[in-house]
Structure formats: structure tokens, C-alpha cells
Structure 1
Amino acid sequence: MRHLSGTAALVVLAMVIPAAPGKAETRRDVPGGRQEAFARAARDYGVPENVLLAVSYLESRWDHNGGLPSVSGGYGPMHLVDARLIGARTAAAPGGHHGGGEDPRGDETRPLPRPPALPGPAAAPPEDTLRLASRLTGISPGRLRDDPAANIRGGAALLAEYRRRAGGPAGDGPAGWYGAVARYSGSDDAGAAESFAGEVYATMRTGAARTTDGGGPVVLSPDPSAVPPGPLPARLSGRLGMRRSAAASGPDCPATVSCSWLPAPYQRLGRKGRYGNHDRYPGRRRIDYIVIHDGESSYRSMVNSVRNPRYLSWHFTLRSGDGQIAQHLRARDVGWHAGNWDVNSRSIGLEHEGYLARGGAWYTEAMYRASAKLVRHLAWKYGVPLDRAHVVGHDNVPGTTRATVRGMHTDPGPYWDWERYFQLLGRPLSRAARKGGRSVLILPRYAVQPFTGCRGSGGCPPQGASTVWLRSRPAPGAPLVKDVGRHPKGRSTQSVYDHAARASAGQRYALADRRGDWTAIWYLGQKAWFHDPRGARTSERASGLLVTPRPGLSSVKLYGRAYPEPSAYPRGVRRQKLAPLQYSFRAGQRYSVGMTLRGSYLRAVTFDTAKHRMIVGGTVYHQIQFGHRFMFVRAEDVVALRS
């Protein structure tokens, strides 16, 4: 049931899909549209048009993103990088997102102190392709940022310049542009550059078509003959300023990505039994989740931090500009990343370079693709279903006790495009839709949503988001629904960091009501309404297992962990308290089930892995979609309903 066929995992690129309406355009396209801008720039600079189109698709999917920078400082359809912006970001925020109130290990039997503040590592700045393109074209940096047609010309000029550096004339067929395409990735690692180039050539072979945020269609016709010539020769990679790093040691990265092995340390810390920065597990570990994070930091800062034994750990870090992956832990080892020990003990954690809410930062197509390839591989190898109950955000992980609920983290946040991500995983979210079902699947199509609280003087610009707002009544001005855990005394807000009144793409909820253009779901113990008009639906009907309190119970307790009953613990092993959360699941309400499992607890409180114990009980739990985060109920407390 959990294994995918290779055919099912393929991603079809040659299809027309709607533009992300949330990415506001500073300047609309000129007559002829963006398609003509690509054709004109390719002709003027002697670049094959399909090469220019495919490179841009990998960088931005041909979007301008309103003149806003990506998480790696790139602008426009051609992702021209402003190195000065990268330097300013690094100086302003060298740390990661694991500070604050959340204990990333999430186990009160061995709480971690606040992670140390680690200095950002000294690093060579990336090539300032924005200003190089300005010198090559005579177009000002400001116009290259703001004008999509000018940006495309700048990208074409860069490709021609990289082709010249590689030692070949401009104007020949796609195969002769392999070195230039690899250099365009911005990577100093030959393996990462080759992976980027491989995706570009694959896009040329399959073709692609979509309506961009400029309002018009762009089409890349398939070219089956666009085959890359092979790995970059050492001579050529050296000429283009790249090195070749060692391949990852071990089987946890697929062969289709560039992955280096940068191990996290496992060592004793002093004489008080402390050790860092993860737990070893003797044998094959059960894995139920793949947890998606954004690191609130640069790639270089994250890989530097995870190699410090006094810091925290996760399994993989992904770079935005070229999709490079660093692996830090084997899948059998337990990372300290999710803030919930039960989830940590059954998950693999992926940190993505980026920022949840730094004034319009967007994630690159190159990173989405590398991440999707990695997750597809891990899901097949370790039996993780590709759905939103198992591939989750850090913001979907529940608090462990009443006291920890409020401080749980909120990444990757609403700007992570879950619908696009699952397309790349080969499991489009809409496939789960079923007519006549008693559940609804949230599918907002990455439409514009208003947010507050973004960092920077400009606030939150209009952008697409993967969420819908939930209100207490079916009316635009009605108050947002209340979350008694996150806001015990206050109200839910529209802050980008506040998920109290949001449902996310791909999440399945029990249908509660329908009135006109509004749909209600059961959410945090109440009816929650979202705008779902005919002709512009933000959800689809779905089916699947639901649960409701069994007859005779007025309410059911909810838990943040699926721990065993006290009698399951052997002598000498501290029993973990089954601490219910502050929420209430009342009679008459229904919630969707993501998985069913027996309670378990991994005891790992010593450096010696021979003393680690996995305790499995007889209590059966259902994981339910109770709010933005999932939670657990005991199966004996509920009745299962087929939807």
C-alpha cells in the first residue's frame, strides 16, 4: 500500500496550468507578451530559444514575482542574483528558526537547553549576475529587477557570456550549451550544476506550457533531441569556476540529485550524560513522516550549524539556487527538529534554504524539484505514503503538552506551494477528490491571500498562498475562528506566523455545512467557514475515514503524541504521561483520519545505543486533522465512519 511504482512517480511537465495570481506584477508584459520577449532576446544574443525558455522555467517557471527576490536573492524570470542582497540578509539574520520557545527534541525526559547562537560562517559571495547582466546589456540593475522583458534579455546575455567562457561560439544547437547552462545554476559544485543542467534538458525534451503571472501564455515545444552530452569535463568545470565534491556516502539520496555527505556529530558533551546532536537507532526505524521545514537562514549557515555537536540536527539541507542537497543523518537515526519526540522518532526532517516571511521571498523551482526527487525516493524506500497526512510541514506537528502548544513553530508557512510540490511528487492533490464524499480537500490554487507581520518595511506584498482563511460565520467580515491553544486570551490574527485560523492545501477535513458560496468544516472543536464560491472553488469533495465520539461520550480527549498505556512500560523504564491537550472533540463533530497506529515510545536518554528501547503498547490511536495541526485520539473513544 505504501510503495510507489516508478511510473507513478513521474512528473508530467507539458501541461497548461493557471498562473499564481498572488504574484503581483510590477509591470505588465509588452505587446507580444513574455513569449515574444524570450524569442527576441534569444535571437539578439544568439541563444537557442528552447535553451533560454528551459533555463528560465527551472529558475522561476517564467514568473516575474512582482519584482520581489527569491530566497537566494534572484530577480525575475531569469533569476538574476543580487549578491549585495544576499550579504545584507546574512548579516541581518545569521541564525536559524530553531530558537524561541520550542524544544526541538520535544521530550521532557531530556529537555534541551536553548540552542547556542552560532556565528554565520565566512563565505565567498555568489556571483552578482544582476550587475554582470547590466554590464553586458547596458540595462540598469533597477530595470533588470522590475521589467520582465529586460530581465529576460539579461539572462540571454549571461548565457551567451557563459558559452563564450566555456570556449564555444554562440548560436549552435542545445547540446553545445551544456556548460553554459550548468554555469547558470550559480553553483560552485560541478555535481549540483550538472543536476540543474539535467533538469533543464529534461524540460526541453518534455516541453512545458503555462500562463504566467504576466497574464499571457508561454509555450516550450518538446524537443526529444535535446540530450545533454554528459558530465562536465574537469577542464571545463575548472574554467567555469566549479569544484567537484565527494558524493554522499550511503543510499539515502537518489542518483538523480547532487548530494554531499556532511555528517552531524554524535558525541558526548561533558560529564553529565549529555550528548549531541541526535540519537542513534540500532536497526531499521519505523518512518511515518517526512517533515518539511524552511531554515530561516542560508544554506551555508545551516550546514555549518548542524555540524556543531551542541546544536540540533535534521537529515537533509537543500539549497535554493541550484537544488544542492547535503545529507547529515542516516534515515535510521533520529534528528532533533520537529519539537515533538514522538514525531521525531518516526520522521525524516528536510530543511530548505529560505524564509517564511521575509518580504516576498519565493522558493525556486530548482529547489522544489530537488526536494521532490528526494522525498519521492525516501517515500518509496521507507514506505511513507505521499499525502498530506504523512508529508507534513513543521507547522502541522502538534504540541506535546498544553504548555508547548503555543510555542510550536510555523514553518514553512503559507507561501510554500503544496499543490505545486505534490505535482512534482507525481501525486497531484486533486487526485484524492471524490464526488459525493463527506470530506473536503483544501485546494486554494495558490490564490492571493492577505497577510500581516512580514519582516521588512514593506510588509507582506500580495502573493499566492497555500491556505484559506477560516471564519466563525459565512461572511467576509466575520471574526476568524478561535484557537484556545495558540491564543488562550486573544484572537486569531492574519499574521503570516499565525496559523490559528487557516487550513492548508491538501489537508482533508470533515464537511460540516454549506451555505451559498461558503463551506464549513469541523476545525478545533467548532464550525469553521471559508469562501468556496461556485466557479472558483477553493476545495473539492473527498472521501476517507472519519471518526466521531462513540455513543455515551460527550467529548473525547486529544493528544499530541501517540504514547503507549502505562502498563506497556517494562520495569526500570520511566512511564510517559498521557497528557491531553486543551482542545475538546465533542459529540456530533467529525474529523478525518490520516493514519491508524499502535502507541509507541522510543526511550533514548543515554549515549549508549545498547540501552535504547522501543516500547510498543496495545493502545490504538487515530491521527486526525483537528486544526491546522494533526492530533491523536484513542480508537476506543471514537466510532469510525466511511465517507
Structure 2
Amino acid sequence: MSVRTSHRGRLLLALTTALTGVVAVASPAVADPGGTPVPAAPLAAAFDTAAARYDVPRDLLVALGYAESRLDMHASAPSAAGGYGLMHLANNPGVRTLDEAAALTRLSPGALRTAPAANVLGAAAVLRSYADQAGLSATARDDVNGWYAALARYGGAHDPSVARLYADTVYDLLRVGFTSARGETVVGRPVAPRRGGLERAAVLGGVGTLSTDYGPAAWAPASTSNYTVASRPGSHPVNRIVIHMTQGAYAGAISWFQNPAAKASAHYTFRSSDGAVTQSVREKDIAWHAGNWTYNTESIGIEHEGYVDNAAWFTDAMYRASAALTRSLATKYGIPKDRAHIIGHREVPGATHTDPGPNWNWTYYLQLVNGITGIGSGTVNTESANLNVRSGPGASYPVVGSVADGATAAIYCQAVGSAVTGPYGTTAIWNRIGTNRYVSDAYLLTGYDGYIPNVPRC
């Protein structure tokens, strides 16, 4: 039996749950095998409610939130660009989606900043208003491919290349699919976004302008209000590399550096998903990244997409791509490849920031910088069942998935954990086969008894 809720009832539900941050059942309950009604998960219900209230494709909303925050509220702390919550409702001189959401939903800015359901509702309201202003009809709203312009506008970038990068990121997630740590799943599907005028915009990292300092990097210059023109290393030695986290999404960080009000920039920014890199300030110039003028003048600043409190952003692809740049910079400028010269933002004298935070693996990163860059492989052998994948190097860590018997696994690094006995004996070695995904070496045939040569230690 299902219960039909009136339009007014749904609106009251949305408003009530948004203000409290606790979402009641907003979609029909699902029965478990015993017949007991199981309510929708709070976050799932929040997306159900917002999508229905504002007639926005539900999966588009989820993908937008995943691109911005991995669906994490981050304790309601603002991003570097002044964005709040899992949908990154922003309040900065260039983007006012928080204020727009407050006007459209009549919810308080405080609720929109701190309550997950309100945050999702606000983002849906803003997207719908942009779609209406773009002339998207009721019929066209059913097609996710028609929301490209509204999505690009939501990102707030003024540079067409960055606006396209922002919207393409969301559509790429829709195409590939994903499952968040909160259990929200979007199944991949074919997409053909209608980009309109942005179809002609250069693609960062594709056919767009490339960096003249570092070959793999795209070039998207920061506002001249956000860095100092110089002639380094002639005017200043370059003797450090400073590691940062963006406290926001990749495209958002690049766009923020282009906002004259930011008064901040970095030389390079890396993307979490695939290690793509964009340069915003030439190496000869002084980026405003360290919060200490002496350190600014003598260092290169490298940003990494993500938040310090969420390890899901710290991918092997990003580590390896960033380490390749750091290795290149260290060679170019004669910087020792050690922790005294490759430092975190939090280590800068007078720093008020904590990045890159406790989730950044300095051991792994410095090994990559120093050329220990091998990726091993192993064949799973359980003699029948699937092999559990755990979130850390030990049998006490939660199971986060499985791999089939006979499957081949790429090994990015190896760590010491709890001892396990399997087909290949008893060992305390665990192999990382993905971001926060470990399997015991006792079940992997790697061709080596113990550690694999040239594969880093985690």
C-alpha cells in the first residue's frame, strides 16, 4: 500500500525537514523480506523531496552534490570560496546561490548552511530558477541533457572554459555512475548534454591552451588581482613546494582564483578523480597561497581537490600526478626531495590552515616524488569465494566491497597490518588496490614473497 501526499503536504514536509535537518519518509516505504516497512534513508529522501518540489532531475542533483562535496556537509564549515553544505551554496562576491536559495525557498540562510535537507532543497530551487530563466519548458525539464546551461551557471565561473569544465564534471558522473560513502548510488547512463554556446569553449586539459611551464597542465590564468608578477627565480630563490587542499571542487577552485575578490591563488591545482592538472599562475610569478609573504616568494603552491576531513578525495591518481609535478619542480629548481622542503600549508609559520590534513599520506607521496612509482599486480586466489576488500590494512577495518576469485588487482602500495593466513601463507602485508581499499597479501599471487620491488609503502 502506498500513501499519496498532496502538493501542499509535500511542501510542508520539505520545509519542516529542511529546517530540522531530519528527513521523514518522502517516498513510499520499501518492505524488507520480513514485510516490515523500511523508511527511505534521510539523504535519499532529501533528494526525493527536492527533485519533486522543483521538478529537477533527481540524479542531476545527486551528481552535482557528489561533484561538489562527495555528499558531505563538512560540519557546515565554508569552503575556500565561501560555499556551504553538500551542494556548495555559495556566498562570495561572485556567486550568491545561498542568498538566491533563501529568497526562493523562504528558508533562513542558517538552515540552508547547516541542515542537509535544506541545503539540497535550496540547490534545487536555484537550479530550477536558472532553468526557467533559460526558457526550459516543462517537457524539456524531464530530459537531463537540457539542464547544462543551468548547471554551468550554478558553478558561477565567468571563464567559458571553466564553466564547461564544471558542467562537464557533473555529466561525466552521470555517464559513469558512482556510489557515495553515504550509500547514494547513481547508475551510469548515456548522456548527450546540450552545451549551447559552451560547445565552442575550449576544454581544459583537452584542446584548450596548455601550460608553457609544465606540459601536462592546462592553462587557466588567475585574476591579476590575486598574484604578484615577478621574475623568479632571479628575483627570489624557489626553495620550497607547499601542498594544499582546495577545500572545494576542482573547477570551483580554478574559478575562485579567477575571481578578483579572492585575493588568493596557487600555481597548480589537481583533480581528484584522474589527476588532471591546471596551472593558474606562472612559476616565475608569486602566487598568494601560503599566508606568509616570505614563503610565497620562495615557493610553488600546489592545490589538490577535496576537503581535509574526507579521505575519499585522496586518490592514487591524484597522488601520482601531483608527485610527478613535484619531482619535476624539485629537479628544475634544485629543491631537495624531502619533508623539510616539501611541506604542508599547516607547516608555514603563522598558518591558520590545517591542510593537507591528517588524511594526506606523506610517506606514500614522498616515495612517489623520489621515484618509487611502480604499480604491482596480483591475482586473487580464495579457492572459491570472493575476497573481502577493507577500508584499511587489517581484518578489523570495515568491509567496503569484494573482488572475485581469479580477478587481477592493481597494487598501488603495500602496508603492514594484522596477520592473515591464506593460500599464500601467513603475512601481515596488505595491498592497497584503490582509494582506501585494501586486501591481504595472503590471498594475492604477486610473483614475490613479501614486498614487491619499486612499489611504494603505504
TM-score, with structure 2 as normaliser? 0.52
Match of 2:117 in 1: 149
Instruction: State the 1:179 CA deviation.
Output: 1.0
Give, in whole Å, the separation in 2 of the partners of 1:61 and 1:157: 20
1:35 equivalenced with 2:44 (yes/no): yes
CA distance in 2, matches of 1:67, 1:266: 38
8 Å CA contact 2:283, 2:300 repeated in 1: no
Deviation at 1:149, TM superposition (A): 1.8
Give the match for residue 444 of structure 1: 392
Identify if the C-alpha distance between structure 1 residues 293 and 147 changes in structure 2 by more than 3 Å, giving closer, same or farther.
closer
Give the distance between the partners of 1:171 and 1:431, measured in 2 at CA: 51
Give yes or no for the alignment of 1:229 onto 2:189. Answer: no
2:279 corresponds, among 326, 329, 337, to 326
Counterpart pick for 2:244 among 290, 293, 304 = 293
Q: Taking structure 1 as reference, are residues 148 and 247 closer, same or farther at Cα in structure 2, changes over 3 Å only? A: same
Task: Determine the structure 1 residue equivalent to 2:148.
Answer: 178
Note the C-alpha offset of 1:318: 6.0
1:192 aligns with 2:162: yes
Name the CA distance, whole Å, in 2 between partners of 1:59 and 1:539. 26
Deviations 1:23-73 (A, max 9, x none): xxx955433232232233122212222322222221123333443433433
Matched, 1:75 2:65: no
1:259 pairs, out of 220, 227, 247, with: 220
Task: Encode CA deviations 1:288-340: one digit per residue, 9 max, x unaligned.
Answer: xx98534799864999777xxxxxxx7514699xx994344579x9x9x99xx
1:56 corresponds in structure 2 to: 65
- Are the counterparts in 1 of residues 69 and 306 from structure 2 also a CA contact under 8 Å? no
Distance 1:296 1:40 in 2: 28
**How well do the aligned residues superpose, as a CA RMSD in angstroms?**
6.0
Distance 1:70 1:383, change over 3 A: closer
Cα deviation code 1:548-596 (max 9, x no counterpart) = xxxxxxxxxxxxxxxxxxxxxxxxxxxxxxxxxxxxxxxxxx998658x
CA distance in 2, matches of 1:260, 1:415: 29
The whole-number CA distance in structure 2 between the counterparts of 1:40 and 1:179 is 23
1:275 to 232, 235, 238: 235
Identity of aligned residues (%): 31
Alignment partner, residue 398 of structure 1: 339
What secondary structure sits across from 2:198 in the alignment?
coil
| Structure 1: gaps (5+ residues) | 1-25, 84-124, 237-245, 280-289, 307-313, 339-346, 385-393, 401-405, 422-428, 450-504, 523-529, 531-536, 547-589, 596-623, 629-643
* Residue 350, structure 1, aligned to residue 306, structure 2: no
Matches within 5 A, 1:542-581: 542=441
Give the Å deviation of 1:520: 11
Equivalent AA in structure 2 for residue 412 of structure 1: P
Q: 1:181 to 1:253 in 2, by over 3 A?
A: farther
1:47 counterpart = 2:11: no
Q: Number of residue pairs matched?
A: 331
- Supply the AA of the counterpart residue of 1:293: H
Equivalent residue number for residue 412 of structure 1: 356
Q: Note if contact 1:295-1:352 (Cα within 8 Å) is conserved in structure 2.
A: yes
Contact 2:270-2:318 at 8 Å conserved across structures: no
In 2, are the aligned partners of 1:291 and 1:350 still within 8 Å (CA)? yes
Secondary structure of 1:63's aligned partner? coil
CA deviations 1:327-383 (Å, max 9, x no partner) are 44579x9x9x99xxxxxxxx9962348886xxx6x6997xx89x968965996x999
For 1:526-537, what aligned pairs fall within 5 Å after superposition?
Answer: none
Task: Give the Å deviation of 1:514.
Answer: 4.8
**Are 1:508 and 2:429 counterparts?**
no
Instruction: Give the distance between the partners of 1:37 and 1:278, measured in 2 at CA.
Output: 49
1:372–1:80 Cα change, 3 Å? farther
Normalising by structure 1, report the TM-score. 0.39
Describe the SS at the equivalent of 1:232. helix
1:175 partner letter: N
Deviation at 1:162, TM superposition (A): 1.7
Q: Which has the larger radius of gyration?
A: 1
Task: Give 3-state SS (helix, strand or coil) of 1:413's partner.
Answer: coil
| SS at structure 2 position matched to 1:508 | strand
Do the aligned residues in 2 keep the contact of 1:63 with 1:76 (CA within 8 Å)?
Answer: yes
- Tell me the equivalent position of 1:598: none
User: How far apart, CA to CA, are the structure 1 residues paired with 2:62 and 2:158?
Assistant: 23
Structure of higher RCO (CA pairs closer than 8 Å, 6+ residues apart): 1
1:159 shift after superposition: 0.3
Report if the CA contact (8 A) 2:79-2:247 is conserved. no
Residue type of the alignment partner of 1:42: A
Given that 1:264 and 1:277 are in contact with CA atoms closer than 8 Å, whether structure 2 keeps it comes out as no
CA distance in 1, matches of 2:439, 2:121: 41
SS at match of 2:303: strand
SS of the residue aligned with 1:412? Answer: coil
Residues 159, 351 of structure 1: alpha-carbon distance in 2 compared, 3 angstrom cutoff: same
